[in-house]
């Protein structure tokens, strides 16, 4: 851990401000000693209280202006033989919820993605979204800050919008693009694709998808993010008439899981994660870089500066 100043030039300016305040404090102390020599009553601590408070306030504000930070550098351990990519369905049907303003399928899928990241701490992890195509946002990386930043700030429903404008646009066949799109490193021996989708897809060829993923040696785990009674609600709180929940989507995910690796209901997320861990197993781990964490201390310095300022105001009000 190290201490750094982002704008050290502000500290130099603060020193110029602190010099006359320091001289004022020194003068107050000299006056106190002179009174003692002359046998006069001591002025008491209040005579130097104000200068000291002013000096402390100026010093703390100067420190804040210099933007102090504590930085910590940590090695990043990562598997060198395995990678995983989480694919999140971002079609409009993922906005379905039990009631207006309730937790949507997309919200639950994002939360599940975080669970997957926690369960695979040393596996390089990538992130992609899916509608009628697969769009990679992060290629497999051991830097979890990068992954979570994309999950929080980039991943969104229909962003970017799908190429088609049909009522039902999702095509699970688009998952074959992961096999053809070089999302995984050529040297990775174990490749996992973890898919979170409501399974409401246009008809597609299971055989073609299975062949593409098998040729790329990709193990696929699918989680069906779907609950009965959910609807897509508009801004006015009314359900959208164009959306009709597909109760057969559970069978679609189960059947596809049988041929690709595993299909699970969202209530069985723990089992899906365990299946992923079992497939990836253990392997060689190496340090692949360093991650820097920073704690900004300027806000704390500003808060601390309020204490001597409060003392000055209290002293003025009592005078």
Q: 118 with 264, same domain?
A: yes
Q: What angle do CA 206, 207, 210 make, to 5 degrees?
A: 85
The answer to whether residue 288 is domain-embedded is: no
Q: 162 with 251, same domain?
A: yes
Residue 186: both structure tokens together:
């050529």
Q: 37 with 114, same domain?
A: no
| 319-to-260, 277, 293, 313, 315 alpha-carbon distances in Å | 81, 70, 47, 10, 6
Q: What angle do CA 97, 98, 102 make, to 5 degrees?
A: 65
The answer to whether residue 37 is domain-embedded is: yes
Nearest to 252 by CA among 242, 265, 268: 265
CATH code, 158: 3.40.50.410
pLDDT in tens, the chain (319 residues): 677 788 877 766 666 665 665 665 566 666 556 656 665 555 555 555 666 777 777 777 778 888 888 877 777 889 999 999 999 999 999 999 999 999 999 999 999 999 999 999 999 999 999 988 899 999 999 999 899 999 999 999 987 677 665 556 788 999 999 988 889 998 899 999 999 999 998 888 888 899 999 999 999 999 999 999 999 998 899 998 888 899 899 999 999 999 898 999 999 999 999 999 999 999 999 887 766 667 888 888 888 888 877 877 777 677 5
| 127-to-157, 178, 212 alpha-carbon distances in Å | 14, 11, 20
Residue 311: both structure tokens together:
């003392």
Q: 123 with 237, same domain?
A: yes
pLDDT at 102: 93
Q: Please, which residues have CB within 8 angstroms of residue 36's CB and are 6 or more apart in sequence?
A: 42
pLDDT at 191: 97
Q: 61 with 111, same domain?
A: no
The answer to whether residue 266 is domain-embedded is: yes
CA–CA dist 264, 246 (Å, integer): 17
The answer to whether residue 225 is domain-embedded is: yes
Q: 51 with 118, same domain?
A: no
Q: 267 with 151, same domain?
A: yes
The answer to whether residue 141 is domain-embedded is: yes
Q: 223 with 262, same domain?
A: yes
Tally of domains within the chain: 2
pLDDT at 119: 97
Q: 123 with 208, same domain?
A: yes
Q: 99 with 119, same domain?
A: yes
CA–CA dist 210, 217 (Å, integer): 10
Ramachandran quadrant class, 95 (left: phi over 0; alpha: psi -120 to 50; beta: rest): alpha
pLDDT at 69: 85
Residue 234: both structure tokens together:
């508009």
Q: 45 with 119, same domain?
A: no
Q: Please, which residues have CB within 8 angstroms of residue 231's CB and are 6 or more apart in sequence?
A: 96, 97, 239, 240, 243, 245
The answer to whether residue 308 is domain-embedded is: yes
Question: Would you give the distance in Å from CA 260 to the centre of its chain?
Answer: 30
The answer to whether residue 290 is domain-embedded is: no
pLDDT at 132: 86
Question: Would you give the distance in Å from CA 31 to the centre of its chain?
Answer: 58
Q: 87 with 152, same domain?
A: yes
Domain that holds residue 136: 81-283
The answer to whether residue 289 is domain-embedded is: no
pLDDT at 166: 55
Residue 199: both structure tokens together:
């399974």
């Amino acid at each position: 851990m190290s201490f750094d100043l982002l704008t050290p030039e502000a500290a130099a300016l603060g020193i110029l401000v602190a010099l006359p305040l320091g001289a004022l404090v020194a003068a107050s102390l000299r006056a106190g000693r002179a009174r003692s020599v002359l046998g006069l009553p001591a002025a008491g601590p209040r005579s130097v209280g104000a200068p000291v408070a002013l000096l402390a306030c100026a010093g703390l504000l100067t420190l804040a202006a210099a933007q102090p930070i504590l930085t910590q550098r940590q090695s990043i351990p990562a598997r060198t033989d395995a990678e995983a990519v989480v694919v999140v369905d971002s079609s409009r049907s993922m906005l379905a919820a039990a009631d207006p303003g309730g937790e949507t399928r997309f919200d639950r899928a994002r939360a599940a993605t975080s669970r997957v990241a926690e369960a695979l701490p040393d596996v390089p992890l990538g992130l992609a979204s899916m509608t009628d195509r697969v769009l990679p946002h992060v290629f497999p990386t051991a830097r979890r800050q990068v992954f979570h930043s994309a999950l929080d700030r980039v991943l969104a429903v229909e962003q970017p919008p799908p190429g088609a404008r049909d009522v039902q646009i999702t095509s699970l066949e688009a998952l074959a693009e992961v096999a053809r799109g070089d999302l995984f490193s050529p040297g990775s021996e174990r490749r996992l694709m973890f898919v979170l989708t409501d399974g409401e897809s246009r008809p597609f060829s299971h055989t073609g998808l299975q062949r593409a993923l098998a040729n790329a040696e990709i193990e696929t785990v699918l989680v069906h993010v779907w609950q009965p009674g959910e609807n897509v609600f508009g801004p006015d709180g009314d359900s959208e008439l164009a959306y009709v929940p597909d109760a057969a989507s559970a069978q679609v995910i189960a059947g596809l899981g049988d041929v690709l690796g595993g299909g699970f209901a969202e209530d069985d997320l723990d089992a899906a994660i365990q299946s992923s861990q079992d497939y990836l197993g253990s392997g060689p781990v190496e340090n692949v870089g360093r991650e820097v964490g920073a704690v900004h201390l300027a806000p704390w310095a500003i808060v601390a500066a309020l204490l001597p300022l409060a003392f000055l105001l209290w002293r003025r009000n009592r005078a």
